[in-house]
Structure 1
Amino acid sequence: MTTATGRRLSIPTTEGWREIELNAPRDWTAHPEPYSSRVAFAAAHVVADPHGNNVPGAPAAIDWDATLGFRRRLFEYGLGVAEAMDTAQRNMGLDWPAIQQLVSRSAAQAAEFGARIASGAGTDHLPDAATAATPASLAAVEAAYLEQVAFVEGTGSQVIVMASRHLARAAAGPDDYLAVYDRILSQVSQPVVLHWLGEAFDPQLRGYWGSTDVGTATETFLGLVRAHAAKVDGVKVSLLDASHEISLRRALPKGVRLYTGDDFNYPELIRGDDEGHSDALLGAFAAIAPAASAALAALDDGDLARYDAEMAPTLALSRHIFEAPTFYYKVGIAFTAWLTGAQSGFQMVGGLQSARSLPHLARVFELLNDARLLPDPELAVHRLGLVADSLGARR
């Protein structure tokens, strides 16, 4: 079992046990107002009911109090919430009835707090794209998108148009993507965020926009944005390629934001350069909210050295949480919430908590400790020990 000895403890690794020093927690400063220099969203996870039947294939059982409490914490640090995204286990256990409740409850809470919220609209209430005998028709995909867009708009939330597995399977080429998105963008009542989720996050989205060549896909994507710039608040790109993001950012029409989804390179992309910067819509921000807040406050003050210093300890943590297979990063987000006391149990919708190893989770603990993001280190030590004990990893 992982135990503390004074202010030192042993953690399990793939090569045995290693001793680390437990750091004192940092007294982070709340910042309930939004930031003036950047728009920043955290893509939040859902907290599974630890007493619920959250096994693969079962309807999602959500701890609503903890889920909404987690979002209040993000609001307290000046972050908007990107709701019902892949971080919330879209296409990985979160079903459409739970999505509807989640978006409705979160949008109402955001309105109460005067906070910003944007929510994902997709096609995932259709039969599973991977197992259906025949792909959904383009007309069915379009209708599904429009149904979810109308629902999200009806809650008062901004819409994030998510990438669709069904469209990726049904589309014969770029023109099919453009036809479906043209219809969506002609119907929305307010500017939306377009989300390009890369293959690392969801292998079923390979070749999105009609090509496996990123340059060709980018030209299709840019053509869509340019044709509908008045209906596009911004684009959220999750390809984990900083140089591609920078070139895309520079090619966007004036007034269209690029919300970075690059959990490997976000400090430099948000910092920007003489030709512009990225705003943020990141799953990583759900794990590092206090540090992200401190960094963004420094950026508002024009203090780039402090911004860099605040962001630096978070990057190793984010890169570890999002390591391959990247689509299991949700485990690290939920584990972080449990270690920091934001939820009472370490269970996930669909039983996904089993998707990362004990050494991986112990490294999450170590990097949170390095960044001084454990508000109660002894509680975190105890909870890491519970996981180690449950797996028979005693020292």
Structure 2
Amino acid sequence: MTRITLLAADGTTSSTELAAAPALAKPRRPLESRVAYAAAHVVPLPWADNTPGQPAAIDWDATLAFRHHVWSWGLGVADAMDTAQRNMGLDAAATRELISRSALEASGVGGSLVVGVNTDHLDDENLTLNQVIDAYKEQLHFAEDAGAGAVLMASRHLARAARTADDYRRVYREVLSAAGAPVVLHWLGTAFDPSLAGYFGSTDTDAASETLLEIIGYNRDRVAGVKMSLLDPDAEIAVRAKLPTGTRMFTGDDFNYVGLIEGDDVRHSDALLGAFATLAPQASAGIQALDRGDTDGYRRILGPTEALSRQVFAAPTYYYKTGVAFLSWLNGHQAAFSMVAGLHAARSLPHLSEIVRLANAAGSLERPELAAARWHGLLALNGIDVSAPPARPSEPATHAEAAAAEALA
């Protein structure tokens, strides 16, 4: 029996049995009952200068191999989104290259791909509404020319420039009129990005929701769906119920996705989730169960993963990307636990330990023995003795105590 060591916030160690990986099968046909995208991360070159403020140096082989892993399970890839560290280390040049490379890979295997469209290639913090419109259009045309579908992300520039809900209506109307194909709108909540407070013209969720619904209603033929990432399932359900026929709700709620994707007798949410990057096999297997009409099987497969996702996305939520990269490393999809801008240091060892515990309990460790070896190596690197019996570390000896011990020896 293999055991894995865990580390608590007070330095206490414990151990638990290492669970076997669940026997999950890749789909033999396209998933049908739900549309699901995993928002994928980027893998840096571990030896490059991926320190804060430096341009991102990407390991393209590992980054694109991870996208093939997602596609192999029948899921789509949502690329160049916040999971890929937009506004948190992924610079404009790396973003453009990521979109171009991912689109080329997707076309080669018939993988479904959407990419983020934003205004973040401009260094100026303060733009006029006209400049916001032009910036959105520039990225939109780049994405479409690359052959990717577009997700119109929430713009920090727009949040700063807009004064009223009418400003949002105008910007989205003009940008959507330039779209060559229907796009997905994205409402990112303040847990993910505090600078987006008051998006769609109000800090009141109901009022902002009405503006969003008006934008969709006025531009129905240009909007394929909306991704809501408010971590508020009631708000998502309320908007979902009012969407025009044919307009999809893509849940971005990494806390409550199991029930939202299952839905009710009338409506369900599809998925565009960073969480699905950490558990693509289980996400696929869960949807395969829904395809068979096996709701109990769906809950049995995906239900236990929600606690894991809540830990990965725990406050401060915008550091969830660290957990995504950590699980990618544990599962063997990258050689090193590293991130652009040094963001792998954004979570503590006890936080990561709880991810290990929950991933083990949820069956989300794809290669358990490898995961255990890598985790134990990380603990050892940080001075945690994984070979000793689990115990509370002793207090550091004073100089006098150390001298006395040496004399007795």
- Deviation string 1:32-55 (CA, Å, 9 cap, x unpaired) is 643111111000000111111100
Structure 1 position 276 matched with structure 2 position 267? yes
**Aligned partner (choices 100, 105, 108) of residue 112 of structure 1:** 108
- Which residues of 2 match residues 263-302 of structure 1 at below 5 A? 263-302=254-293
Q: Which amino acid aligns with 2:56?
A: A
The CA distance in 2 between the partners of 1:235 and 1:375, in whole Å, is 31
Alpha-carbon distance in structure 1 between the residues aligned to 2:49 and 2:350? 26
Superposed, 1:166-181 pairs within 5 Å as 166-181=157-172
Match of 2:325 among 331, 334, 358: 334
Q: Which amino acid aligns with 1:101?
A: E
In the alignment, what sits opposite 1:132?
none
Aligned counterparts, 1:202-351, within 5 A? 202-351=193-342
SS at match of 1:60: coil
The size of the alignment, in residue pairs, is 385
Cα distance in 2, alignment partners of residues 32 and 75 from structure 1 = 12
Could you report, residue by residue, the CA deviation over 1:179-202 in whole angstroms, capped at 9, with x for unpaired residues? Answer: 111111111010000000000000
Aligned counterparts of 2:30 and 2:219: Cα–Cα separation in 1: 27
Residues of 2 paired with 1:292 and 1:60: CA distance? 29
Q: Residues 142-179 of structure 1: CA distance to partner in whole angstroms, max 9, x if unpaired?
A: 11101000000001111100000011011111111111
Which residue number corresponds to residue 58 of structure 2? 62
> Corresponding residue for 1:387?
378
Instruction: Indicate whether 1:72 and 2:68 are aligned.
Output: yes
Q: Cα distance, 1:391 vs. partner? A: 2.6
Comparing 277-286 and 19-28, the one that deviates more: 19-28
Residue 25 (structure 1) aligned with residue 21 (structure 2): yes
Q: Deviations over 1:274-320 (max 9, x none)?
A: 12100000000000111111100000001111111111111111111
CA distance in 1, matches of 2:131, 2:60: 32
Which region of structure 1 is more displaced relative to structure 2, 308-317 or 364-373? Answer: 364-373
In structure 1, what is the Cα distance between the partners aligned to 2:369 and 2:250?
Answer: 36
Q: Residue 136 of structure 1: CA displacement?
A: 1.2
Give how far 1:128 is off.
5.5
Question: Are positions 1:355 and 2:350 aligned together?
Answer: no
Q: Which residue of 1 aligns with 2:367?
A: 376
Pairwise CA distance, 1:370:
1.1
Over 3 Å counting, the alpha-carbon distance change for 1:32 and 1:53 in structure 2 is: farther
Q: Percent identity?
A: 52
- Is the contact made by 2:5 and 2:376 (CA closer than 8 Å) also made in structure 1? no
Paired with 2:258 and 2:335, the residues of 1 have a C-alpha distance of 31
Distance in 2 (alpha carbons) for counterparts of 1:338 and 1:208: 35
Distance 2:21 2:246 in 1: 40
Could you tell me how far apart the structure 1 residues matched to 2:48 and 2:28 are? Answer: 33
Aligned to 1:12: 7
How far off is 1:30 after superposition?
Answer: 1.3
Structure 2 matches for 1:125-144, cutoff 5 A? 125-127=121-123, 129=125, 135-144=126-135
Preserved contact between residue 32 and residue 76 of structure 1 (Cα < 8 Å): no
Displacement after TM superposition at 1:384 (Å): 1.1
Corresponding residue for 2:145?
A: 154
| Cα 1:120/1:200, change in 2 over 3 Å | same
User: 1:160·1:192 contact (CA, 8 Å) conserved in 2?
Assistant: yes
Match of 1:44 among 40, 45, 53: 40
8 Å Cα contact 1:322/1:328 also seen in 2: yes
Q: Which residue of 1 aligns with 2:392?
A: none
In the alignment, residue 166 of structure 2 is paired with which amino acid? Answer: D
**1:394 Cα shift?**
3.2
Pick which of 385-394 and 224-233 moved more: 385-394
3-state SS in 1 of match to 2:103: helix
Separation in 2 of the partners of 1:8 and 1:310?
Answer: 23
Bigger radius of gyration: 2
Q: TM-score, length-normalised on structure 1?
A: 0.95
Could you list the per-position Cα deviations for residues 206-232 of structure 1 after superposition, in whole angstroms to 9, with x for gaps in the alignment? 110111111111111111000001110
Secondary structure (helix, strand or coil) at the match of 1:94 reads coil
Residue identity in the other structure for 2:52: P
1:121 aligns with 2:112: no
Does the residue aligned with 1:235 lie in a helix, a strand or coil? strand
Give structure 1 stretches of 5+ with no counterpart.
Answer: 1-5, 130-134
Q: Is the 8 A contact 2:156 2:195 kept in 1?
A: yes
Alignment partner, residue 406 of structure 2: none
Q: Corresponding residue for 2:77?
A: 81
Query: Superposition RMSD on alpha carbons, in Å?
Result: 1.1
Q: The residue matched to 2:241 in structure 1 has which SS? A: helix
The CA distance in 2 between the partners of 1:392 and 1:50, in whole Å, is: 22
The residue type paired with residue 9 of structure 1 is I
**Structure 2: any 5+ residue segments left out of the alignment?**
387-409
